[in-house]
Structure 1
Amino acid sequence: MATKKDTKAKKNALLIVESPTKVKAIKKFLGSGYEVAASNGHVRDLPRSTMGIDIEHDYEPKYITIRGKGDVLAELRRQVKKADKVYLATDPDREGEAISWHLCSALKLDEADGKVQRVTFNEITKNAVKEAMKHPRDIDMNLVDAQQARRVLDRMVGYEISPILWSKVKRGLSAGRVQSVALRIIADREEEIDSFIPTEYWTLDVNLGVTGEKKPLVAHYYGEGNDKKDISSKEELDAICKDLKGAKYTVSDVKKGERTKKAPLPFTTSTLQQEASKSLNFATQKTMRIAQQLYEGIELGKEGTVGLITYLRTDSTRVSDEAVAAANDYITSNFGEKYLAEGATAKKSETKIQDAHEAIRPTYVDHTPVKVKDYLTRDQFRLYQLIWRRFMASRMAAAKYETTAVKIDAGKHRFTVSASKTVFDGFLNVYTDDEDQIEKNVLAKSIETGTTLKFESFDSAQHFTQPAPHYTEASLVHDLEALGIGRPSTYAPTISIIMARHYITKENKSLYITELGQAVNKMMVEAFPQIVDVNFTSNMEALLDGIAEGDVKWKTVIENFYPDLDKAVKAAEEQLEAVQFEDEVTDEICDNCGRNMVIKYGPFGKFLACPGFPECKNTKPYFQKIGVECPKCGKDIVLKRTKKGRIFYGCIDNPNCDFMSWQKPAKEKCPKCGGVMYAKSNKLVCGNSECGYIKENNK
């Protein structure tokens, strides 16, 4: 039986969340015994005007109230005074743990007196919230310290290195512990693409008539017998075709088999960002913003506000038993028992940082996309549908294919045909991607070993090997995760920052480094190689995980990092004393005041500006000559940029001359065909694909 004191405590409980959009729903779940308020995210942070870290006194951070949060804190203090119990229900991750800790300090709450406790829930549903309230705990200082360490490390890097970028490149630029590595990864890929030299190869298909069939069977050249052979030139192709003249085409082997395609895992933050980018063309930042809306709650008519998905920042593919049971019931009812997965579909997490969470999944499987569509915006619906389908697919049986592999011999040469057909669609019933081709090249039933086929014609084609593709947001997130750079919460802001700084630009889906990005990356690689080293950054993430797990002291990580950074900064300042990217005087005369104009960096790269600013504000485009004549008109080739900042080479006489190239043209012409040669790493390559001339570039 509850005492009067217990009853009073329940009626005077205050629960603090991060987002105001959660307040209404959670208040409804908890009832009249609770007040629910929001902190609107972080309330304290390091100051903007100084580093905010006391280097001389054990690297202690100096936190201040964030500007604009005074009124929020004043209201929270007023509510805390009236409450007998305070529950801190900020987001269930390191960042949320740190916000709860900062709230304790800002609101003068003392965990020792038993008045304040921490609660976390992975989804905004009545059951999840009520269950969380049964298991309050103390603030996890390991998670807080991991967040503090990340914040302090990032502040040190930004505060120490950014001023060097301001003085040597352009004011307003920034360096970051993770963003600088991401920029380097993109820059390295661009360099790899620019230096790639294509290799010629040919494909040969034969069209064969099958008795009783209207359509010919298309077989692909394999090689000689069991030895696979690539066709590297037209001469080789002609020799093979000549050798095959009059040959008899006979099926030498037919092998049937079965292939299964496993259901995909439910989404993690990384895989959701990748799939939303590929399938929906969403930027990572947009994906996270919309997922946040779905997590915090959508007004579903009479149901009120309902959180449609679980927490969106997670590395885990784990799913609760309750969610598995609900999914299994839905699949059995709507598809039949044969569509149920045989066992659990979950991947063991390689990191432990977010494994307390589940995968990203719908909170209620009965909230089908069709059922909630009318309450969602178009983009909310598309993302929710992707999450719902992916989760349901993860609980479904594998797809099964019947495969057939055919070998066709003609003299010493061999051609092959492979085909597959779906015998059970399994999870493909609800979820497919570009790689899921249900039917491929269905074979005629009359094909069997010993069958003679009639030659009809050859189809041949010339190809060239392709370089690695330009990064997209999806592939960059994939590689950042694979390399251990950053964490789920950092991918979207990292990409957004380097895009906002104009270090990279996006055209269609591809990411390209800008001239400004090249300048920043060059300086970072030369002056701060450790900061932009992938392995160093990955090892630092592992140390942050160690802090979160209680195995490493966060001050130890800081005190081992800062002296090396400080030393590198001092060395860079000395080394870069003579380096000057801006204010290089040119022969170009200002039309307004007659001064010699200087080169400066703008958001998209170099431009000419009058040194008499602000009295004279004249600017001009800067066209950097590369010392090569235009192959079309003989005038100068200059370095140019697209409207979004991507670098290319074009004729200075544009629009009268339309020559342009993404590759840098060379001075000399091809000695073999007279075509344009392009500089690729230490080689010069003819741009005429039919020529293919290559020579060493001694520069």
Structure 2
Amino acid sequence: TEDAIEKALKKPGDININLVNAQQARRVLDRLVGYKLSPLLWKKIQFGLSAGRVQSVALRLIVEREIERDNFKPQDYFLIEGAFDYNKSLFNASLHSVSGEKLVKKVKNKEGKPEFKFLLTNEKQAKDILEEIKKQEYYIKSVTKKEKNRSPFPPFTTSLLQQAASNMFGFSAKRTMQAAQKLYEKGLITYHRTDSFNLSAKFLKESQTFINKQFGKEYYKKTFFKKKAKGAQEAHEAIRPTSLKKLPSSLGAVTKDEQLIYELVFVRSIATQMAPIKLLSTSVDISSKDNKFLFRANGQQVLFEGWAKAYTLLKTVKYNPLSQDTLLPDLKENTNIDLKDAEMTKKTTQPPARYSEASLIKTLEKYGIGRPSTYAPTISTLISRKYVLKESKYLVPTDLGRVVTQLLLDNFADIIDYDFTAKIEKDLDEIALGKKEWPKVVDTFYKPFEKRIKSSEETLSRRDYKVLGEAPKDIKCPDCGGPMLLKLGRNGKFYTCAKFPECKGMRGLDGKTEK
């Protein structure tokens, strides 16, 4: 911003050689990984492939999520909902527990990961319980009312802006950064490659004046945010408008993408300095007279809009962070209530969702992998190399992406290990702080890495990673009549004779003979 430039000119500082060294180390490490691993992929899989310190870890995340989905076994379960009448006011409540045992319980599996355990997984059992429920009499066991505050979201960092634009507009990280770059060049927003939540004192003062005038003093609340992501460097401010005088409704000559991104940045920045949303939450437990069946209903009412009011400034897109009120009748504890009807619904567990660009960026940041400037180009590279396809908003690994990941996992598991990659980022941060010497960090990484590269060049066979499996038994070699293998080629999958190179018979996936 103009203010920051004037300040820097008045108090020029010395070049921080530690930061220079950290950048030098990052550049050398990235090139060592890319320049050494990429040619190995050319020799062992196909020409034109690439690997990278951050790129290959991101690909691993996508591939491993797909494997989780492949191995997922769906399970049917049943939920029961009751329609209750209280003094002629109707509302629904869900069956919460039977004889004290919850219908849906969160547990940890063998790997220590959270998963859900369901009580009703048998249709006959669920129907029997439904019939028993309908015969019972009910009373209101408890009514709990609680006021809650919802604090505003922090200001935008690069990753948060990319996630928000992806979720709201379906923008790719690259598209978001292109629009942000133009806004930055036009002097409308601050620097857009940042991992900081910091806002300048000048902006904080300007936002106070703006909020008090636009919404009223009760909507203002000064707030400071602290970065929680691993390895945050916080060299710049958060992304914000350079001036609150430039309202979203009066930007002038900008593209639609630029308008949308500016609106997001403007509203989010204002909202950070506004009062929390105040909510009244109501939870009602309804029990059968014998206390065997417990139903639960939840209601919510907005008492004060708080920072949600900032979103009324959006011009191009409509978004309300507040969900609609769900009001319950004025219920009294220990009074009777009528069950009018109950219904059973069959559900099926779903596999873990594929990564979208937004969720991938969020995960990379959580692990401390990469920097604000690397997220968009990393995803673009995965797509351009055909390691990943974009289906709707989701990232789906190709066979090529799976094969590349498998080769790297088999031979360079530590290089694409999540914790190792985060540790490298930590080492780079310590170089920037003067706590470590950059040649030693590079040397510690490079010596064992170089040995493995040489070993892999000698021992790895193209066949190990080109062969995807055996062909169906009815697919026979057109030349010798023998069994065939499914292989990955430059243009996709095809069948080749299991006796290759002695026999060179081939078929396409459609079963036709290849020439």
Give the TM-score normalised by structure 2: 0.86
Measured against aligned partners, the alpha-carbon deviations of 1:207-237 in whole angstroms (never above 9, x if no partner) come to 1223233xx2111101136542332221221
Name the SS for the 2:396 alignment partner.
strand
Tell me which residue corresponds to 1:294: 183
SS in 2 for 1:408: strand
What letter matches 2:135 in structure 1? G
Give the 3-state SS of the residue equivalent to 1:430 in structure 2. Answer: helix
CA distance in 2, matches of 1:588, 1:159: 41
Among 255, 258, 270, the alignment partner of 1:377 is 255
Supply the AA of the counterpart residue of 2:443. E
Cα 1:598–1:220 shift into 2, 3 Å: closer
CA distance in 2 between partners of 1:155 and 1:272 (Å): 28
CA contact (8 A) 1:315 1:349 kept: no
Query: Which residue does the alignment assign to 1:147?
Result: 23
Point out the structure with max Rg over C-alpha: 1
1:334-349 map, 5 Å:
334-341=214-221, 343-349=222-228
From 189, 206, 230, the equivalent of 1:309 is 189
Equivalence for 1:622: 508
| Alignment correspondent of 1:421 | 301
Deviations 1:137-171 (A, max 9, x none): 23222122111111111111122121111111111
What are the Cα deviations for residues 255-278 of structure 1, in whole angstroms up to 9, with x where unaligned?
A: 211111111110111111111110
Q: 1:598 to 1:212 in 2, by over 3 A?
A: closer
Choose which of 182, 188, 211 in structure 1 pairs with 2:58.
Answer: 182
Q: Give the letter for the 2:95 counterpart.
A: Y
CA drift at 1:350: 5.0
Q: Please tell me whether the aligned partners of residues 206 and 456 of structure 1 are also in contact (alpha carbons under 8 angstroms).
A: yes
Say whether 1:198 aligns with 2:86: no
Give the whole-Å Cα distance in 2 for the aligned partners of 1:502 and 1:351.
Answer: 30
SS at match of 1:381: helix
Letter in structure 2 aligned against 1:337:
K
Q: 1:459 to 1:349 in 2, by over 3 A?
A: closer
2:493 aligned partner: 606
The answer on whether the counterparts of 2:231 and 2:425 sit within 8 Å (CA) in structure 1 is no
- The one-letter amino acid of 2:162's match is Q
State the AA in 2 paired with 1:200. Answer: D
Match among 385, 388, 394 for residue 266 of structure 2: 388
Unaligned runs of 5+ residues in structure 2 are 104-118, 313-317, 469-475, 497-505
Two-structure CA RMSD over aligned residues (Å): 2.7
What is aligned with 1:243? Answer: 132
Q: How do residues 667-678 of structure 1 correspond to structure 2 at under 5 angstroms?
A: none
Separation in structure 1 between the aligned mates of residue 293 and residue 98 of structure 2, nearest angstrom: 4
* Pair 1:580–1:407, CA change in 2 (3 A): closer
Shift of 1:577: 3.9
- Partner of residue 217 from structure 1, selected from 86, 91, 99: 91
- 1:586-610 deviations in whole A, cap 9, x for unaligned? 9457xxxxxx99966226x33589x
One-letter amino acid of the structure 1 residue matched with residue 508 of structure 2: Y
1:487 counterpart = 2:371? yes
| Structure 1 residue 529 displacement after superposition | 1.3
Whether the aligned pair in 1 keeps the contact of 2:45 and 2:462 (CA below 8 Å) is: no
For residue 373 of structure 2, give the secondary structure of its aligned residue in structure 1. Answer: helix
2:453 to 539, 563, 569: 569
Tell me which residue corresponds to 1:617: none
Conservation of the 8 A alpha-carbon contact between 2:311 and 2:320:
no
Match of residue 207 from structure 2: 327
1:3-24 deviation per Cα after TM superposition (whole angstroms, max 9, x unaligned) = xxxxxxxxxxxxxxxxxxxxxx
CA contact (8 A) 1:316 1:349 kept: no
Structure 1 Cα separation of the partners of residues 132 and 485 of structure 2: 69
The letter for the 2-side match of 1:441 is: T
Give the partner amino acid of 1:409: S
Distance (Å, rounded) in 2 between the aligned partners of 1:518 and 1:558: 29
Conserved 8 A contact 1:504-1:517 = yes
Letter in 1 for 2:324: E
- The code of the aligned residue for 1:202 comes to F
Cα distance 1:477–1:392, how it changes in 2: closer, same or farther (>3 A)?
same
User: Which whole-Å CA distance do the structure 1 matches of 2:485 and 2:146 have between them?
Assistant: 73
Deviation at 1:427, TM superposition (A): 0.6
Q: CA deviation at 1:580?
A: 5.5
Equivalent residue, structure 2, for 1:356: 235
Q: Which moves more between the two structures, 190-199 or 204-213?
A: 204-213
Distance in 2 separating the partners of 1:438 and 1:154 = 45
Aligned residues, how many? 472
Equivalent residue for 2:503? Answer: none
Closer, same or farther in 2 for the Cα pair 1:398/1:453, shift >3 Å?
A: same
Take 1:350 and 1:532, find their aligned partners in 2: how far apart are those partners? 20
Distance in 2 of aligned mates of 1:495 and 1:259:
38
Which amino acid is the alignment partner of residue 397 of structure 1?
A
Work out the CA distance in 2 between the residues paired with 1:551 and 1:353.
17
Note if contact 2:231-2:426 (Cα within 8 Å) is conserved in structure 1: no
Please give the TM-score of this superposition, normalised by the length of structure 1: 0.64
**1 CA distance for matches of 2:368 and 2:15?**
27
- Which residue matches 1:557? 441
1:277 to 166, 179, 184: 166
**CA deviation digits over 1:600-654, x for unaligned, max 9?**
6226x33589xxxxxxxxxx9832xxxxxxxxxxxxxx8xxxxxxxxxxxxx79x
Q: Could you say if the C-alpha distance between residues 583 and 180 of structure 1 is closer, same or farther in structure 2, counting changes exceeding 3 Å?
A: closer
Aligned counterparts, 1:161-180, within 5 A:
161-180=37-56
Q: Aligned partners of 1:217, 1:539: CA distance in 2, in Å? A: 53
Q: What letter is aligned with 1:197?
A: K
State how 1:26-41 maps to structure 2 within 5 Å.
Answer: none
- Is contact 2:130–2:343 with CA below 8 Å preserved after alignment? no
Corresponding residue SS for 1:488: coil
Query: Does the 8 Å CA contact 2:134/2:339 hold for their aligned counterparts?
Result: no
- 1:267-317 CA distances to partner (integer Å, 9 max, x unpaired)? 1111111111101111011111111111121xxxxxxxxx11111111110
Identify the residue that residue 96 of structure 1 maps to in structure 2. none
**CA distance in 2 between partners of 1:364 and 1:356 (Å):** 21
> Is 1:404 the counterpart of 2:282 in the alignment?
yes
| Deviation, structure 1 residue 351 | 5.4
Are residues 199 and 155 of structure 1, via their aligned partners in 2, closer, same or farther at CA, if it must alter by over 3 Å? same
Identity of aligned residues (%): 37
Paired letter, 1:427: W
Query: Take 2:100 and 2:144, find their aligned partners in 1: how far apart are those partners?
Result: 15
Q: Distance in 1 between matches of 2:138 and 2:176?
A: 54
**Greater Cα offset, 447-456 or 525-534:** 447-456
Aligned-partner Cα distance in 2 for 1:137–1:353: 22
Q: Residue 489 of structure 1 aligns to a residue in which SS?
A: coil
Match of 2:415 among 516, 531, 534: 531
1:260 partnered with 2:149: yes
Confirm or deny: 8 A CA contact 2:478 2:507 kept in the other structure: no
1:551 Cα deviation from its structure 2 partner: 1.2
Task: Quickly say closer, same or farther: Cα 1:507–1:375, change in 2 above 3 A.
Answer: same
Q: How far did 1:353 drift?
A: 5.2
Q: Pick one of 488, 491, 514 that aligns with 2:398.
A: 514
Cα 1:427–1:235 change in 2 (3 A) is: same
1-side partners of 2:507 and 2:184: how far apart? 47
* 8 A Cα contact 1:204 1:461, kept in partner: yes
Compared with structure 1, are the counterparts of its residues 435 and 186 closer, same or farther at alpha carbon in structure 2 (3 Å cutoff)? farther
CA distance in structure 1 between the partners assigned to 2:392 and 2:486 by the alignment? 34
Q: What residue in structure 1 maps to residue 115 of structure 2?
A: none
Contact 2:43 2:462 in 1 (8 A): no
Contact 1:187–1:518 under 8 Å retained in 2 = yes
Q: Which position in structure 2 is the counterpart of 1:441? A: 326
Residues 530 and 572 of structure 1: is their aligned pair in 2 closer, same or farther, counting only changes over 3 Å? Answer: same
SS at match of 2:40: helix
* Distance across 2 between alignment mates of 1:222 and 1:290: 47
Q: CA deviation at 1:540?
A: 0.5
Q: What SS does the corresponding residue of 2:176 show, helix, strand or coil?
A: helix
Contact persistence 1:316–1:357 (CA under 8 A): yes
* Aligned-partner Cα distance in 2 for 1:406–1:419: 8
